[in-house]
Amino acid sequence: QVQLVESGGGSVQAGGSLRLSCVASAYTYRRYCMGWFRQAPGREREGIATIDIYGRTSYADSVKGRFTISQDNAKNTLYLQMNSLNPEDTAMYYCAADPRTHCFGVYPANFDYWGQGTQVTVSS
């Protein structure tokens, strides 16, 4: 069973940066599409970014140019570098795994495995 553990969330002022990490089983990063999602209170879960086993990435328009998804296969770790944060980025952030080698969009329904989430709070 795939287990995902996020870390790196916290509180930051607008304009600041954070880097989220997600550690998973070794099998995952060499086989699965990986993604980052977020959910704010009262809102639906939103896809942010995905990366496939070939390193190809895709981003939601809301974070394009500000967030970067990457992975370190040697460390079995997925990252989300978040720059130029604003209060609208406040949410619980989740990493997730889609057990296919290619990614088919940032749709939560595509992803079978989820971490417990890490909170990001951006103050103005």
Residues 44-102 have pLDDT tens digits of: 999 999 999 899 999 999 999 999 999 988 888 999 999 999 999 999 999 999 988 88
pLDDT of 1 strictly over 90: no
Q: How much is the pLDDT for 27?
A: 66
Q: How much is the pLDDT for 124?
A: 93
pLDDT of 5 strictly over 80: yes
Q: How much is the pLDDT for 93?
A: 98
* Residue type (1 letter), 105: G
pLDDT, tens digit (0-9, with 9 covering 90-100), for 17-33: 999 999 987 666 568 89
